[in-house]
Structure 1
Amino acid sequence: MLSELSIRNFAIIESLDIEFERGLTVLTGETGAGKSIIIDAVQLLAGGRGSQQFIRHGAERAEIEGLFYVDVTNEALLAELAANDIPVGEDRMLIIRRTLSRKGKTTCRVNGKLTTIAAVRTIASHLVDIHGQHENQELMNDKHHIHLLDHFAPPTFEEAHRHYTELYEEYVELRKKLRQTVEDEQTIAQHIDLYTFQLNEIDEANLVVGEDGALEKEQQKLQHFHRLFERLTTAYESLNGESKGLDYIGSAMSDLEDAATIDDDMKPISETVSASFYSLQDVIHSLSSTIDDMAFDPMRVEEVESRLALLATLKRKYGQTVEAILTYREEIEEKLDRLLHRDERLAEEQERLAQVEADLAIEANELSLIRQETAKRLEKAVMEQLEQLYMEKATFRVSIETKEPLAFDANGSDDVQFLISTNVGEPLKPLTQIASGGEISRMMLALKTIFSKTQGVTSLIFDEVDTGVSGRVAQAIADKIATIAVHSQVLCISHLPQVAAMADYHYFISKRVEEDRTVTRVRAIEHASRVEELSRMLSGAEITPLSLRAAEELLELAEERKQTFAEEAEQSN
């Protein structure tokens, strides 16, 4: 649910903060006051396309922030948040913030974490659904019809679709391998030559894991051989011999041993010096052996440098480490084997692909059967909604056609399209080809009423979906929006008094000039102000006693109807 919306320097809005509640919130006002700008801001917050033109004149950036409350039962939303490592606390709050800069930079944050626009768009799709009169929304896009139908399907569909998806992923991978196997002969020959050369080059090197580190250490010693020999010899001569380091320490050891026979407190010191004396004897012996074994070998220097140069060349070509080179070798060995035995593998893969395709056809057919049953239920549900919207002569059908020739995609082998005929005797046509604005509004509202219960979206926004209707149809649309608002949060921009009267919360949008700048203002209106606003919407600019009485009556009737809808919803639950 959208709880708060904060807008700064967006279009003609300098600063705006609005709080929203559950139920139906209606925004009304004169044309051009900025009602749709508020919806544009929400759409941008939900991952819509941004533009510098949205930034208010004279400002460096536009900022939009929305506070949502997460429905803990919305598993798809929680999974998406987890996938993007976005935490949600016990308060269930989710804050989405988006900034547009004059320099063209746009940033998105969700609960303070910097997030991509694509991720925000996916997350927001589980939170809010925006529909406007002229937008290419989900319902007006044939490609989305199959997803909407599947949302209406029974629980058995999910399990069937999971089985299909597992097979389909294997099918895609097999087709990919098959394409690689049947590449043109010239390319195959080139790859065979290349992989053979690379394998030979790596094998001839006789690589040993860890040898590069050992060689680098040896190279360090060889490059500084004379300096190392000189330092070790000097250290040895300083310690060993008459009147040298060890000789003096031996004298000190004897004196301290004698002192310890007189004073027991000297024993620890005596023992420490004795231990040092014997340790230094070991050191002198080790130094002597090391010096005796040292011999400068120019040939070994050349061998080490040559080996390191070879390793550097292989690392540059095949991997940053010896381990990476050997891993690459395994990969190309497998590829070479596939190419050399491609005829055998081709036959195996074609056989496996044929088997998977047969199994996939069975699973796709299972999906199709469930969809056909689902389509009947959806058709019935939509027809009931259309009848309530005074389109009782309309006919709605779900067309399910198997792809010809048989082909598979992530959804199976079906092409799904919503068809409608709005007049008796007229043929069924794709939903996307409906011409009348009023018919579009009612058709969209009928489908939204049904799908709002299955899509898991907690906030629905209607931007002037009532355009092109009046009279009893206007009241029917108002009733339908109010019905949706019983179980969802609905934000609606409307010019119809019937819709505005149904509002649980009513905001009036106005604009005025302040200091030679146009600014938009929003204020919540209660009963008296609502009566005046409804009166204006009923009669136009001039408010008359008659229009005021009509507005009061409209509000009274609306309250009665809303009470009825609430009772019906409670009974259905």
Structure 2
Amino acid sequence: MIERFYLKEYLSFKEAELDLQPGLVVFTGPSGSGKSILMESILASVGGASCDASICESSVTWQIDEDNVGISNDDINVFKHIKKEKSRYFINNQSLSKKSISKVASAYLRHLSLKDFSDFKNENLLEILDNRVGAKSQKITKLKEKYKETFLEYQEVKKALHVIAQEEKKIVELKEFAAYEIKKIEDINPTVGEDEDLLQIKKELSKKEKVLGSIESANEIFNYEHLVSSALEALDEQSGFFDDAMNELRSVLESAQERFSALDDVDVEEVLNRIEALSGLKRRYGSIEEALEYKRQKELELKKYENIEVAKNDLHVRVEKLSAEVKELADTLSDFRTKALPAFVKDLNSYLNSLYLRDAKIHMSRVDYDLYGQDKLEIELNETELSKISTGEFNRLRLAVLALKSEFMSGNGGVLMLDEIDANLSGEESMSVAKVLKKLSKHFQIFVISHQPQLTSMGDQHFLVYKDGKISKTKELNMDERVNEIARIISGETVSSEAKKFARELLEANKCVS
């Protein structure tokens, strides 16, 4: 519910603050006093309308989906719209776009001013019907869960089968391409690290002649080795260090000579061609490792293509099995609904009759399977499509549907905002609307603008919107003030004692209305 609303500087309003209660909240006042402006500003505070108010702010008990919205819940969440140079929207002082804040609020608040057909959508009507069945038997709840689970699996398997069918059309081309890609890499047959080894060989080949010439020249030093040994002996110096150094040098030069001499058997042209082939793979795939991984993936694809007929047959079997299960579950669901439909229609028409409307007809037809089964419900009023009935009839029919829905609601349904839903109705018709709204107010907080005493007298909370000079103001009315206001609605500006008496009688009588 909305617990508090604050408005500052909007058209004829300088400031308004409302402490709101659950149930049916009625706004009355003379024409032009600012009732519609106030209603519009409440909607604007949660992104449901546009206005130029400096501030319009609603404190609500709604729970925000923290993961999706990215805003933490407070004990009371505050929705705010501020207009300076441009409009800005906030929840708990964190900025959001108008679209985002409206999306959050739409889960809790509905404005029933226009011909919104959402209440007559098939899934909503089926939910009302199923809830009525569920009140007598819990079987339908488990049945719906099982049907939905089976239907979703059926959809997934059908999708997989469709993909295979599409692949099958070009299977020859896909197999040839996969085999071609595998062969390109197999022809080169690379190994990890091979490219680095070949580059090292290429480097050594490029300096082979120079290195071998240098080694040959350096070997001359060993022709004078004995002279150094003799000199050290003459000096009575130990020659071990010199012998060790010469032995180590001899080992290095011999090892290098063997390594470079071994390159005599290497085909330079073959090395260069191999390097170029590996470079081509690296240019295309990024590295030898990636080329080998690509080859592995193509081998898996080729295996899948070769086994596609087996997979296709398996999927066909699963589709047929799931299709039979979906049909069986949907048929059982339809049986429940078909049996419950006459009572559903009867109770709907009971509400419609109390609202002074003629009976509605509900047609149940079979459609393609979807998440809700195979049933489609369509409502006609006076044998007329909903799109062609009057706004007044449409709104009263919608109230009847909401009343049916509320019969099996366990919690609070949020906030309903209505403009002058009882406009141009007779006293009896207005009272019938008021009674339905009173019933709905057990599950919804309802804001309604009214010019009729019947609906006004049903309110759990009553605000007067009036002008003080050119300034619009609001006031929550006590019992005596409500009597005076309802009497004004009945008799006009000159309030008669008879009007006051009738107003008090209405209020007293409606205290007992549940």
Output the TM-score relative to the length of structure 2.
0.69
Partner of 2:475: 523
Partner of 1:450: 404
Indicate if the aligned counterparts of 1:28 and 1:494 stay in contact, CA closer than 8 A.
Answer: yes
Counterparts of 1:205 and 1:33, CA distance in 2: 88
Q: Do residues 434 (structure 1) and 395 (structure 2) align?
A: no
Q: Do residues 545 (structure 1) and 496 (structure 2) align?
A: yes
Aligned residue for 2:340, secondary structure, equals helix
Indicate if the aligned counterparts of 2:41 and 2:51 stay in contact, CA closer than 8 A.
Answer: no
Partner of 2:61: 69
Q: CA deviation at 1:360?
A: 0.8
Q: Comparing 28-37 with 346-355, which one deviates more in the overlay?
A: 28-37
Indicate if the aligned counterparts of 2:27 and 2:35 stay in contact, CA closer than 8 A.
Answer: yes
Q: Which of residues 359, 362, 378 is equivalent to 1:395?
A: 359
Partner of 2:207: none
1:12/1:143 Cα in 2 relative to 1: closer, same or farther (>3 Å)?
farther
Partner of 2:333: 367
1:14/1:144 Cα in 2 relative to 1: closer, same or farther (>3 Å)?
farther
Please show how residues 124-523 of structure 1 align to structure 2 within 5 Å. Answer: 124-132=105-113, 134-141=114-121, 144-154=124-134, 155-183=138-166, 191-192=174-175, 195=178, 314=285, 326=293, 335-391=301-357, 394-403=358-367, 407-421=368-382, 428-435=383-390, 437-454=391-408, 456=411, 457-510=413-466, 520-523=472-475
1:180-239: per-residue Cα shift (whole Å, max 9, x none)? 22227775556556655666678878797xx9xxx9xxx9xx9xxxxxxxxxxxxxxxxx
Counterparts of 1:313 and 1:528, CA distance in 2: 88
Q: Comparing 152-161 with 407-416, which one deviates more in the overlay?
A: 152-161
Indicate if the aligned counterparts of 2:28 and 2:451 stay in contact, CA closer than 8 A.
Answer: yes
Q: CA deviation at 1:398?
A: 2.9
Indicate if the aligned counterparts of 1:140 and 1:431 stay in contact, CA closer than 8 A.
Answer: no
Q: Do residues 20 (structure 1) and 17 (structure 2) align?
A: no
Q: CA deviation at 1:536?
A: 3.1
Counterparts of 1:179 and 1:102, CA distance in 2: 54
Aligned residue for 1:543, secondary structure, equals coil
Aligned residue for 1:508, secondary structure, equals strand
1:417-465: per-residue Cα shift (whole Å, max 9, x none)? 12333xxxxxx44444433x44334322222222234454133322222
1:11/1:351 Cα in 2 relative to 1: closer, same or farther (>3 Å)?
farther
Amino acid at match of 1:553: F
Q: CA deviation at 1:409?
A: 1.2
Q: CA deviation at 1:21?
A: 0.5
1:142/1:359 Cα in 2 relative to 1: closer, same or farther (>3 Å)?
closer
Counterparts of 2:73 and 2:190, CA distance in 1: 54
Partner of 1:245: none
1:211-270: per-residue Cα shift (whole Å, max 9, x none)? 9xxx9xxx9xx9xxxxxxxxxxxxxxxxxxxxxxxxxxxxxxxxxxxxxxxxxxxxxxxx
1:85-125: per-residue Cα shift (whole Å, max 9, x none)? 65546x4x33344567866x86564x566667777566545
Partner of 1:533: 485
Aligned residue for 2:373, secondary structure, equals coil
1:13/1:557 Cα in 2 relative to 1: closer, same or farther (>3 Å)?
closer
Identity over the aligned pairs, expressed in percent? 22
Q: CA deviation at 1:499?
A: 1.0
Counterparts of 1:16 and 1:308, CA distance in 2: 77
Counterparts of 2:505 and 2:163, CA distance in 1: 72
Partner of 2:231: none
Amino acid at match of 1:395: D
Q: CA deviation at 1:494?
A: 1.5
1:412/1:143 Cα in 2 relative to 1: closer, same or farther (>3 Å)?
closer
Amino acid at match of 2:109: V
Amino acid at match of 2:397: M
Larger CA Rg, structure 1 vs 2: 2
Counterparts of 1:206 and 1:98, CA distance in 2: 66
Aligned residue for 1:135, secondary structure, equals coil
- How many residue pairs end up in the alignment? 445
Counterparts of 1:471 and 1:45, CA distance in 2: 34
Indicate if the aligned counterparts of 1:23 and 1:504 stay in contact, CA closer than 8 A.
Answer: yes
Aligned residue for 2:156, secondary structure, equals helix
1:139-188: per-residue Cα shift (whole Å, max 9, x none)? 25556433443444414332111111111111221222222222277755
Counterparts of 2:185 and 2:29, CA distance in 1: 76
Amino acid at match of 2:110: D
Unaligned runs of 5+ in 2: 204-247, 261-267
Please show how residues 10-49 of structure 1 align to structure 2 within 5 Å. Answer: 15-44=15-44, 48=48
1:10/1:81 Cα in 2 relative to 1: closer, same or farther (>3 Å)?
farther
Unaligned runs of 5+ in 1: 71-76, 223-287, 317-321, 422-427, 567-573
1:536/1:192 Cα in 2 relative to 1: closer, same or farther (>3 Å)?
farther
1:430/1:112 Cα in 2 relative to 1: closer, same or farther (>3 Å)?
same
Indicate if the aligned counterparts of 1:81 and 1:123 stay in contact, CA closer than 8 A.
Answer: no
Aligned residue for 2:494, secondary structure, equals coil
Amino acid at match of 1:36: S
1:480/1:197 Cα in 2 relative to 1: closer, same or farther (>3 Å)?
same
Counterparts of 1:325 and 1:84, CA distance in 2: 45
Q: CA deviation at 1:543?
A: 2.0
Counterparts of 1:39 and 1:201, CA distance in 2: 73
Amino acid at match of 2:364: I
Indicate if the aligned counterparts of 2:434 and 2:455 stay in contact, CA closer than 8 A.
Answer: yes
Indicate if the aligned counterparts of 1:532 and 1:543 stay in contact, CA closer than 8 A.
Answer: no
